[in-house]
Amino acid sequence: MRRWVPLLRDLPVEVSILASIAFFVALGFGIVIPSIPIFANSFGVTALAASAVISAFALMRFVSSPLAGSWTNRFGERRVLATGLGIVAVSSFLAGLAQTYVQLIVLRGIGGIGSALFTVSAMALLLRVVDADQRGRASAAWQGGFLIGGVAGPAIGGILLVVSIRAPFFFYAGTLAIATAIALVFLSPARLAAREAAVVAAESGGEPTPPGDPTEHAAADPRPGGWAELRHALGNGGYRAALAVNFVTGLTVFGLRAALIPLFVVQGLEQGPSLSGWAFLVAAVVQAIFLVPAGRMTDLRGRRPAMLIGSIATIGGMLLLVVDDLATGSLSIALVIFFASMAVMAVGTAFLGSAPSAVVGDIMGGRQGGSVVATFQMVSDFGAVIGPLLGGLLLDLFGFEWAFAFGAAISVLALIFVIAMPETLRSRPADTPA
């Protein structure tokens, strides 16, 4: 398969394995997420309480990220990855059996802890097993696994809801069990240790060091972990730019866009809610199309040019939405601008899904980076949490155009960090084998 998939060609087999895991995780998540408010509402709670089930998952994921970073450094990526997947699988299965609202929200909160463990460890592992000139494509492949699974999930979820309101939770647990099995069976500890040693040697221009006990390879890193590791990363302008960009991506793409677009379609464009579904489908297709060129550019031209394109596209997409809100007097023009804005933002998402992650990998240099990856993930989660709240507040006070203009303005701040950042992609030493 890797031979015929451009994103996977010439990449280590671990990238294919991690992309497959991402697909099954996103497939199950896409299936279960639409059913959560409906299931919660079946216990006779308010709409706010039903929505809180989703927030509980996101909140626990956010607050657990530092723990995930610490555990990744202490126990190794593979162990933490499998543990996190297992926690989400078991908690999701039990959530399907929940008999009260309290049971449901507690179990979803536990699932958020497992999600943090999985996400941080998997990203750290992905960035450790690829060479510097592969990190853009590897990050794009990882993103592609989530994208394809996320698109397929809701369609299956709709069918399962017809069968039973609890069925999506059991199916989600099944896809997570498959992902856990893939991690345990196909991620070889010995091969991971060898790959990580080779990457460290390539970064330093030296010879690979013996990996030692493959089951304890994560503990062999001599660099300080925790806060010392994070302080070292924060001293690099490239990492600060990656944090800024990831925060903006969480706030605009996973926050403002996800929360306001469905409302804008119904209230601003005065169309049926199905139009927002088509808009998100268009965005997913455009993002998938640009994953390959975004990954290649990140590895060939550098992280900074790709992040510039992604940041500018995000700003442009948000500004188009501002214009669209002002042009709603002509429906045909408004619809054209609307779909154009979703497509432009999707281009930005493709580039910002590859380049900032590659920067984090450059900072890690093939070594442990649990705290570095955890912080990178946390800023995105924080943006996703506050984005809908700020967007909803601006919408209530001033209207859609101000909410979208806020997204554009915050994206400009991230662009400033990108303009000022140094290029983190370093050329491979001439005597280092590929």
* Separation of alpha carbons 113 and 139, rounded Å: 23
Q: CB–CB of 366/196 below 8 Å?
A: yes
Q: Is the dihedral of CA 122, 123, 126, 127 positive or negative?
A: negative
In this prediction, residues 66-87 reach a mean pLDDT of 91
Q: Which helix (H) or strand (E) holds 22?
A: helix 13-32
Q: Tell me whether domains 13-208 and 231-420 share a fold.
A: yes
Closest CA to 18 of 89, 85, 93, 88: 85
What pLDDT score was predicted for residue 8? 66
Query: Using CA atoms, how far apart are residues 396 and 408, in angstroms rounded to an integer?
Result: 18
pLDDT tens digit sequence for 12-46: 899 999 999 999 999 988 888 778 877 888 898 88
How sure is the predictor about 425, in pLDDT bands with cuts at 50, 70 and 90?
A: confident
Tokens representing 59 are 């909140």
C-beta of residue 196 within 8 angstroms of C-beta of residue 41: no
Averaged pLDDT of the chain? 84
pLDDT digits (tens, 9 = 90+) for 259-297: 788 888 888 888 887 787 788 888 888 998 999 899 999
Pick from 166, 145, 146: nearest CA to 157:
166
Q: What span, in angstroms and rounded, lies between the C-alpha atoms of 160 and 35? A: 9
How many CA atoms lie less than 13 Å away from 374 in the CB half-sphere? 30
Percent of the chain with pLDDT over 70: 88
In this structure, whether the domain defined by 13-208 belongs to CATH 1.20.1250.20 is answered with yes
Domain ranges of the chain: 13-208, 231-420
**What confidence tens digit (pLDDT) does each residue in 226-261 have?**
677 788 888 899 999 999 999 999 888 877 887 788
* Joined tokens for residue 204: 């330093």
Q: Kindly report the pTM of this predicted structure.
A: 0.80
- DSSP code per residue over 309-374: HHHHHHHHHHHHHHHHHHTTTSHHHHHHHHHHHHHHHHHHHHHHHHHHHHHHHHHHTTS--HHHHH
Tens of pLDDT, residue by residue over 202-217, are 766 655 444 444 434 4
Q: CA of 191: how far to CAs of 8, 12, 187, in Å? A: 18, 10, 8
Is the pLDDT assigned to residue 7 strictly greater than 70? no
- The 10s digit of each residue's pLDDT in 167-207 is 889 999 999 999 999 999 998 888 888 877 777 777 666 55
Q: Is the pLDDT of residue 1 over 60?
A: no
The architecture CATH gives domain 231-420 = Up-down Bundle (1.20)
